[in-house]
A = this chain, B = another copy of it.
Amino acid sequence: MDEKLMDQVMEEVLKKLNSGNTDVVKRKDAPVEEQKERTNKTFGANGITEFVGTAIGDTVGLVIANVDSELLASMNLDKSYRSIGIIGGRTGAGPQIMAADEAVKATNTEIIKIELPRDTKGGAGHGCLIIFGADDVSDARRAVEVVLDDLDRTFGDVYGNDAGHIELQYTARASKALAYTFGAKEGQAFGIIVGAPAAIGVVTADTALKAANVEVVSYSTPTNGNSFSNECTVTITGDSGAVRQAVLAAKDVGVKLLEALGGEAPSSTKPYI
């Protein structure tokens, strides 16, 4: 095969490989129809009752109707429930926590554990493990479904390239998942600003705080609050308009810095803020 043709092929191959090779996520979930088919095929006759579904970020949703009592004792949960809902992903903590925040508002469940592994499949951030407790398994299942359905939205302001990612989250009214993870005050506006590599996260935090009249709720660095991820994370509260404005100002600066380091950094899905 002649050298020139090979170069041409390589150029195209690398272009196509790189276009999907962001630090953050590739949409893994097939269209609903297709996914249903795949799920049915896999679980077919001998379906596994614990399985609820999958979503972006290699996220899986599961339920256990009646947790083994010895396991329950080992799990060190904040409160014991026999029925639990489980959300776990390889990529993303913020998007799943935001979606879980909506889920506890919408269902009769409690957040009884959130842990952040160091993950993102070689990227700079976290994965997640979120556990809902419920008196009735149908409530736990409903919470898990709400999270899976909401993830396309909450991944909308995750911007990534090979060098890192910028993540923004915003809600007009924080609930228990955000209170659990970051110490958010329930019922108040709340914003999350993550920059990776962590150096960029210092600047995005500074930008957010200067852009509007907001207060710091938490500030985390790789070895102090984060799970050794290469991120700095600031969370903020205040008037809802101010929080939104601060988040958007941080996005502008953060995405530009990330793009200066690693090239185009598109949204993982579709911006929502």
Contacts and interface: CB of A to CB of B under 8 A. Distances in A.
Interface in A142-174: 162-164
A263 to B, nearest CB: 9
Is chain A's binding surface mostly helix, strand, loop or mixed?
mixed
Contact of A10 (B12, B76, B117): B12
Contacts of A221: 75, 115, 129
A209 B1 CA distance: 51
A272 interface: no
A90 to B, nearest CB: 5
Interface string A36-73: 00110011000010110010001011101001101100
Question: How many A residues are at the interface, by size bracket?
Answer: 35 or more
Given A127-B197, A163-B90, A206-B68, A10 B1 contact: no
A203 B197 CA distance: 32
A107 B94 CA distance: 39
Contact of A222 (B6, B129, B164): B129
Nearest to A218: B74
Given A88-B230, A129-B199, 14 more contacts: A6-B12, A9-B9, A10-B12, A38-B260, A48-B257, A54-B260, A60-B200, A62-B200, A68-B209, A74-B218, A75-B219, A75-B221, A88-B202, A90-B197
List 10 tightest A-B contacts by C-beta distance, closest first: A88-B199, A122-B122, A117-B222, A74-B219, A117-B230, A118-B228, A68-B209, A129-B198, A88-B197, A127-B230
